[in-house]
Structure 1
Amino acid sequence: MTVTGKTTVTGIIGWPVSHSLSPVLHNAAFQALGLDWIYVPFPVAPERLAEGIAGLKAVGVAGFSVTIPHKVAIMGLLDEVDPQAELIGAVNTVVARDGRLTGYNTDGIGLIAALREKLGFDPKGRNILVLGAGGAARSAVVSLAAAGAGGVTIVNRSPDAAAALAHLVGARLTGTRFDAREMPLLSDPGFIGSFDLVVNTTSVGMAGDCFPGLALSSLKSGACVYDMVYAPPVTPLLAQARALDIPCANGLAMLVAQGEAAFRIWTGGAPPAGCMEGALAAVL
């Protein structure tokens, strides 16, 4: 890759940001297509976010990804926010056009794409259990409802947070039934047996931890498990699902699919099939 004064610049902002794998995804795709584009990390401290956004806009960056801790705070600094990102309450992708910055959220797009690609799962009319009530859960809940889920039940360590999320999204997406329940129900076979899909949106599993008592063995025939965690590639949740022959997948495909969606927003075209996933798999 040769960088010149004509090279189009994209990147990612976060604090910290040096650990991000997004440069691997996007630079692999730019190179594969022969595009004179580059993707670089921009460390931006929370207290300097407004300055950072103004600087990126001033120097003509074509677009950028947004990661922790800026996904919510950035919304008030943009010229426009996509309606679905507004409902999710977070932005992870920004594009610059005609001097204006528009924010999107591609996490939900990535989840639905990953479910369909890796598990052959279509949310339409299905009953889904979401573990967690944070930012990732909010994105998952909105995207699953937008894809036609029949019912979404949110379980979280804080029942109040789960109830607040169910109420907030349920008021806007009335075609899906929303419910919030407490963690002890995860060990109830009658409760677990009603779901077609279990989605973990939390960090549980990253350090080898698990959901105590989760009765996966009670899932109905054909039900699936999706874990947004991708490192380690096999979490205790996925190990349990595999032992029970339950179709399951980790968050790698979601990470790739959300990156592909951002790539399309910036360039207007798609990356070569399998390019991003191959580059990421090689690094991991």
Structure 2
Amino acid sequence: MKKWFAVIGDPIAHSKSPNMHNTWFEEMNIDATYIPIHVKGDELEKAVAALKTLGVSGWNITIPHKQTIIPFLDELDPIAEKMAAVNTVVVQDGKLKGYNTDGAGFVHSLEEAIGQQKQSEVLIIGSGGAARGIAFALQQYGYHNLTITNRTVSKAEKIVNELGEGRALSIEEAENSLDRFNILIQCTSAGLANTDFKLPLSLEKLQEGAFVADIVYNPLMTPFLLEAEKRKATIINGLGMFVHQGAIAFQHWLGQYPNTNLMIKRLTEELL
């Protein structure tokens, strides 16, 4: 029987996930399809029940449901439980199990771009689900010099306390000490194609040659990355994270890891 998968979110029209997964199904001769479903916050519980009833094999979750979906799942992978955020659901024997592939997807894309830089001083900007996932994944992969900055410092402090290491800074403190960081990771939704944008913090003191990543992939070149490039940083857009988190989800569903290099090339051409 044909398998089907989905991505749910609000908004959802901008997502490239259907294109990516359907291309992989075709490349790998898998009889399956993947569709986008617009789900508002107050419809989430009904949507989960409907997906299960209609026989979905698995689905992805994007903003704003990565944390609020947890009560409607039967089980969490230990990493997702630690992160308190889910972006992938696997349906197995009628049970719904939640995973988080965002953080691992980011680390894969970071190391693909710059190699292993585990001794680096890392600044994570933001304290939402993506920032949490990336912070825990970096720690899991051996990155321990982590600093988190956020406009509401208490939210950054909460993540640091859960990590059991690292430190939290206000935006002003991060700006004043920016030249100490080798890697900056912009983890807020600022810069998405459908949002107004202002820099989450000033890059005036950015270290020349620093690695600056943005988790936003549409547009490929966010204002944050453009500003970092002007200051002679090595920039990393969000497309690699997006593709690798999708590939890890694909592997959870079907036991195979798709071709990420070709997909990054294809999506780059589409988004340019």
Matched, 1:235 2:222: yes
Matched, 1:72 2:67: yes
Q: Which TM-score applies when normalising by structure 2?
A: 0.91
When the two chains are superposed, the root-mean-square deviation of aligned CA atoms in Å is: 1.9
Matched, 1:144 2:138: yes
Aligned partner (choices 215, 222, 234) of residue 204 of structure 2: 215
Give 4+ residue runs of structure 1 displaced > 4 Å after superposition. Answer: none
After superposition, the Cα gap between the structure-2 partners of 1:217 and 1:259, relative to the gap in structure 1 and judged at 3 Å, is same
The 1-side partners of 2:231 and 2:11 are apart by 38
Q: Larger Rg: 1 or 2?
A: 1
Tell me, which stretches of 5 or more residues in structure 1 are unaligned?
Answer: 1-5, 171-176
Q: 1:81 maps to which residue?
A: 76
Aligned partner (choices 167, 174, 181) of residue 186 of structure 1: 174
The 2-side partners of 1:89 and 1:66 are apart by 13
Paired amino acid for 1:90: A
Identity %: 38
Q: 1:199 maps to which residue?
A: 185
Paired amino acid for 1:138: R
After superposition, the Cα gap between the structure-2 partners of 1:192 and 1:257, relative to the gap in structure 1 and judged at 3 Å, is same
The 1-side partners of 2:173 and 2:42 are apart by 41
For residues 245-274 of structure 1, the C-alpha deviation after alignment (integer angstroms, 9 at most, x for no partner) is 322111111111111111111110011343
For residues 189-214 of structure 1, the C-alpha deviation after alignment (integer angstroms, 9 at most, x for no partner) is xx223222111101333445224532
Q: 1:95 maps to which residue?
A: 90
Q: Is the 8 A contact 2:74 2:95 kept in 1?
A: yes
Q: 1:128 maps to which residue?
A: 122
Q: How does 1:96-115 map to 2 (within 5 A)?
A: 96-115=91-110
Matched, 1:11 2:6: yes
Secondary structure of residue in 1 paired with 2:169: strand
After superposition, the Cα gap between the structure-2 partners of 1:149 and 1:157, relative to the gap in structure 1 and judged at 3 Å, is same
Tell me, which stretches of 5 or more residues in structure 2 are unaligned?
Answer: none
Q: Which TM-score applies when normalising by structure 1?
A: 0.87
The 2-side partners of 1:97 and 1:210 are apart by 43
Q: 1:263 maps to which residue?
A: 250
The 2-side partners of 1:156 and 1:193 are apart by 18
